[in-house]
Chains A and B, each alone.
Chain A
Amino acid sequence: MAEKNKENVSFRNVNENPCNMCMPMGGILALKGIEQSMVIVHGSQGCSTYMRRHIAEHFNEPVDVGSSSLNEKGTIYGGEKNLRQALDNIRKVYHPALIGIVTTCLAETIGEDIERITGQYLIDKEMEEFPIVTASTPGYGGSHFEGYFFTLKRILMQLTEAAEKNNKINIIIPNISPADIREIKRMLALMEIEYVLYPDFSDTLDRPFAKPYTKMSNGGTKIADIRSMGGAVATIQMGITIEDGISPGKYLEEQFGIPLYNIAIPMGVESTDVFINTIAEITGKKVPESMKQERGRLLDGMIDSHKYNFQGRSVIFGEPEMVYGVTKICVENGVFPAVVATGSQIGRFNQLVTAAVADCPEQSKILIETDFSHILAASKEGKVNIGIGPSDGRYLTEKGDIPLVRLGFPIHDRVGGQRLLSVGYTGTMMLLDRITNTLLENKYKSYRSSMYEKFYQQG
């Protein structure tokens, strides 16, 4: 059963080492996946800078994000002047095709009506056709995970029209790596599918070195494509854990009658099968031979590693959707998910994970809305020997001697977070290898000395 850390009464009052970020962070990530877009964070300067720093460190990319730089005056008399100035300056320097505005604790607490402010701005500038999308993302309103999906929904609400029917499938993705996004696109190309992938930060946050440098990067979901998502054949949304209220796919279904297939991230055999089968079901296309081969190789590799994996007792932590995906991989491969944890508060997570771990020989501990201090305690209790999640899990390594397989966002103490491939049959194999090899490395590191100490008796 999920525990909201009832054993520690003080938890409701204090979070010890957070396992989540705040809402506007998710909003920025979502908007970074839109073609030629710029983001303005409506709040004090620090919010934007902290988030830029975090994103830049993970992706190793310049991350330019504007701020309305609210000061004392703006806080007392309202931030309209600041926000308008921010819009002017961002347009001047970056010439974006779209501007997204996310709010912060400060802006929401002083009651800023950003829709009115931006609406008036566009009228005054005589540019009513220009797309400004807004999302209320107070930091106290939820984690970055909710902020991400909520912003995606808000963009659809403001851009998508009842378009003519087209042959495309909407593919809505969670916060996965650029390498993962590219892998999903490769799979879709193999299946010869027409699609709109939303949002797409595979290029915008992982661009090739090229001269000359441009402030705005190429790539991202095209604005025209977002507008036409209301005419798609179906929506496949990798957001099985999210609630309807923040679900962009649900919005498209309710508003435009687009059938929604809400699935898990294709991680592991079963979840990837679901992805492929869903595409086949929607389009009637056959699964290409090469895809079957990829699947076969994954199965082959799983057998090769299964005895090593059986020794794994994992703690899985991070964003709900990613955690659920990894849990499926662990369960499929006999790595016991001893602790499954997220800092977000997501209703469906508990139910889904409970079902996923139902057949495990022991009871998993599920932690929602938790922090690293609790994750560490549960990991020690659960005799965990491998951690899977973002870099902040290094705390578990330091305090609990738990080796860490870095995955998800953010990865700030190693390079290549943006290049980690973990989805689809091929990506699953690569992630599984990272898990297995970490278990092996840890075992080989000490087995000579540990056996010696255990059995050797002098004389």
Chain B
Amino acid sequence: MAGELAESITERDEFIVTKGKNKKQLKCDTDSSAGCVSQRACVYCGARVVLNPITDAIHLVHGPIGCATYTWDIRGSLSSGAELYRNSFSTDLKEQDIIFGGAKKLAAAIDGLVEKYQAKLVFVYSTCIVGVIGDDLEAICSAASRRHNIEVIPVESSGFIGNKSAGYRAAGDALLRLIKPSESAVFKKNNSINYLGDFNLAGEAWIIHNYLQQMGVELNVTFTGDSHYTALKSAPKAKLNIIQCAGSMLYLAGKMEELYQIPYIQISFLGIEDTAASLRNIAAALGEESMILKAEELIAKETARVEDIIKGYRTKLEGKKAAIFVGGGFKAISLIKQFREIGIDVVMIGTQTGRKEEYEIMNELVDDGTVILDDANPAELEKFMMEKGANLLVGGVKERPLAYKLGIAFIDHNHDRKHPLSGFEGAVNFAEEVYSTVCSPVWKSLTALGMESGVTNHG
């Protein structure tokens, strides 16, 4: 069979469109097809990504060991305080637990951990088999909660109940339980805002916090980068929610509006254009004249500081073509604009879990001929990057080696990165990273004449 041309998979057709070429609606937000080598992870992954940055919580995975191993401290979320979240705890279920149930083990695990680490908050993540063997997570957690007089919150994240988005929702539900005020609590609203959907990768939430401070905006709590139990508990007090990572936080924001009358706006701090627009929108939403003025000052000052640096990179990068394949839609949308800032056009764009509305915006922003695809696989990424002549790919860890094997530059836009890509600082880092990979001298060696050429260049 070898030697035949790869055939495309028909059930994938609906998930791929070319702008200007076909008018059909892109299909998205549905289960991955079997055997398509989807780049998506699972429900548990989605939930863990969102909750893990909560620094003083015990994150306990109820399941077999793998789920905990593969998620141990692989993210770059930073903490200004507790470090407990950087541990991966697991009930390490074995064969006999599958047969007899894991309830006792889980209860004992919670007891042991709470005693050892004195935490006020425990998240217990459900994994695939827990959903099947029927351990009553809810009952075990509430019993433990009563026993220790702390919050023990089950996260319904069995891997098979949906895709990564379902995990965001499960995390949202867990957070809603956490922030729910007790019956007796008297709630007084203040003028602060909550910042949703920043996980403080490489200190990104700190950068944004600094901006807000300069504008005179009080940040109540970030969901969930560098957050902790007490701060999260105060979430209902805020006046406004601003959302960066919409994929993971829109559900929570909607619920908070419903329950605590906190309106929300979507913002993005990726790229100069979006950062400036977001700061303006926040000031406008809060409606205070001084904030609006200070926002303009900040934008003017910061733009002046970074403009020339970015222009410098732009002259080196003008005309290059980018392919994007990232987790969520908000990031993809911002990246289109951010690439434009450095003179790069996007020729392929896709996400793991983008929503319909986000794909519509992408479709508006990109040029005719750009391929837009949902839940892509390596074969498709390869095909369209080659067809469209992409010079670089933006993606995560799994996509990186593919780009490199194709001789294409690569930008790490994942949770693992060690440098911030948010705000004005991030815009400079981004441009620098693009330059460092697109203009690296290594590509020259790939096109060198090689051993067969007979070139010797004796001195």
Question: B2 — which chain A residues lie within 8 A by C-beta?
Answer: 36, 95, 97, 216
Closest to A24 in B: B66
| Cβ contacts A293-310/B at 8 Å (1 or 0 each) | 000000000000000000
Q: Is the CB of B160 within 8 A of A105?
A: no
Report the bound CA distance from A80 to B45 in whole Å: 25
Question: A380 — which chain B residues lie within 8 A by C-beta?
Answer: none
Q: Is the CB of B6 within 8 A of A46?
A: no
Closest to B414 in A: A53
Interface centre among A50, A70, A215, by most chain B C-beta atoms within 10 angstroms, is: A50
Q: Is the CB of B66 within 8 A of A110?
A: no
Pick the contact of B92: A14, A25, A70 (CB < 8 A).
Answer: A14
Report the bound CA distance from A366 to B43 in whole Å: 37
Pick the contact of A49: B38, B92, B98 (CB < 8 A).
Answer: B38
Q: Is the CB of B113 within 8 A of A105?
A: no
Question: A75 — which chain B residues lie within 8 A by C-beta?
Answer: 128, 131-132, 160
B-binding segment of A135-143, A161-169, A195-203, A259-267: A135-143
B165 close to chain A: CB less than 8 A: no
Q: Is the CB of A67 within 8 A of B70?
A: no
Pick the contact of B160: A44, A63, A373 (CB < 8 A).
Answer: A44
Q: Is the CB of B95 within 8 A of A140?
A: yes
Known A22-B65, A60-B404, A140-B95; contact A87-B397, beta-carbon cutoff 8 A: no
A351 close to chain B: CB less than 8 A: no
Pick the contact of B405: A22, A72, A213 (CB < 8 A).
Answer: A213
Pick the contact of B37: A12, A16, A65, A373 (CB < 8 A).
Answer: A65
Report the bound CA distance from A94 to B116 in whole Å: 50
A378 close to chain B: CB less than 8 A: no
Interface centre among A52, A69, A95, by most chain B C-beta atoms within 10 angstroms, is: A69
A401 close to chain B: CB less than 8 A: no
B20 close to chain A: CB less than 8 A: no
Report the bound CA distance from A48 to B90 in whole Å: 20
Q: Is the CB of B405 within 8 A of A49?
A: no
Q: Is the CB of B109 within 8 A of A13?
A: yes
Q: Is the CB of A71 within 8 A of B162?
A: yes
A104 close to chain B: CB less than 8 A: yes
Question: A97 — which chain B residues lie within 8 A by C-beta?
Answer: 1-2
Question: B89 — which chain A residues lie within 8 A by C-beta?
Answer: 14-17
Report the bound CA distance from A412 to B418 in whole Å: 14
Known A45-B159, A53-B70; contact A104-B35, beta-carbon cutoff 8 A: no
Q: Is the CB of B35 within 8 A of A85?
A: yes
Q: Is the CB of A66 within 8 A of B37?
A: yes
Q: Is the CB of B378 within 8 A of A215?
A: yes
Pick the contact of A64: B37, B94, B109, B396 (CB < 8 A).
Answer: B37
B446 close to chain A: CB less than 8 A: yes
Report the bound CA distance from A12 to B111 in whole Å: 13
Q: Is the CB of A15 within 8 A of B7?
A: no
Per the CB 8 Å criterion, the residue count for chain B at the interface is 81
B255 close to chain A: CB less than 8 A: no
Per the CB 8 Å criterion, the residue count for chain A at the interface is 81
A-binding segment of B26-34, B138-146, B181-189, B239-247: B26-34
Q: Is the CB of A14 within 8 A of B9?
A: no
With both chains docked as a complex, state the minimum distance between the C-beta of A188 and any C-beta of chain B, in angstroms.
27
With both chains docked as a complex, state the minimum distance between the C-beta of A225 and any C-beta of chain B, in angstroms.
17
Pick the contact of A106: B68, B159, B407 (CB < 8 A).
Answer: B159
Q: Is the CB of A71 within 8 A of B31?
A: yes
A18 close to chain B: CB less than 8 A: yes
Known A49-B41, A92-B7; contact A15-B160, beta-carbon cutoff 8 A: no
Question: A52 — which chain B residues lie within 8 A by C-beta?
Answer: 398
With both chains docked as a complex, state the minimum distance between the C-beta of B173 and any C-beta of chain A, in angstroms.
17
Q: Is the CB of A69 within 8 A of B69?
A: no
Interface centre among A52, A60, A67, A215, by most chain B C-beta atoms within 10 angstroms, is: A67
Pick the contact of B64: A22, A62, A72 (CB < 8 A).
Answer: A22
Q: Is the CB of B159 within 8 A of A47?
A: yes
Closest to B97 in A: A140
Report the bound CA distance from A25 to B298 in whole Å: 50
Q: Is the CB of B4 within 8 A of A95?
A: yes
Interface centre among A15, A56, A83, by most chain B C-beta atoms within 10 angstroms, is: A15
Q: Is the CB of A211 within 8 A of B34?
A: no
The B-contacting residues of A in range 1-36, CB under 8 angstroms, are 9-10, 12-18, 20-22, 24-25, 36
Q: Is the CB of B70 within 8 A of A45?
A: no
Q: Is the CB of B397 within 8 A of A85?
A: no
Known A49-B398, A53-B397; contact A13-B91, beta-carbon cutoff 8 A: yes
| Cβ contacts B371-412/A at 8 Å (1 or 0 each) | 000000111001000000000000011101110111100000
The B-contacting residues of A in range 87-146, CB under 8 angstroms, are 87-95, 97, 104-106, 109-110, 138-141, 143
Closest to A83 in B: B34
Q: Is the CB of B34 within 8 A of A86?
A: yes
With both chains docked as a complex, state the minimum distance between the C-beta of A454 and any C-beta of chain B, in angstroms.
31
Question: A63 — which chain B residues lie within 8 A by C-beta?
Answer: 398, 401
Q: Is the CB of A45 within 8 A of B32?
A: yes
Report the bound CA distance from A9 to B42 in whole Å: 32
Pick the contact of A13: B108, B161, B401 (CB < 8 A).
Answer: B108
Pick the contact of B382: A50, A61, A213 (CB < 8 A).
Answer: A213
Q: Is the CB of B37 within 8 A of A18?
A: no
* 8 CB-based A-B contacts, threshold 8 Å: A10-B111, A14-B92, A18-B65, A18-B92, A20-B69, A21-B70, A52-B398, A67-B37
Closest 3 pairs (CB-CB, A-B): A46-B42, A10-B112, A22-B66
Which B positions have Cβ atoms within 8 angstroms of A?
Answer: 1-4, 6-9, 31-45, 60, 63-74, 87-95, 97-98, 105-106, 108-109, 111-113, 116, 127-129, 131-133, 159-163, 377-379, 382, 396-398, 400-402, 404-407, 446
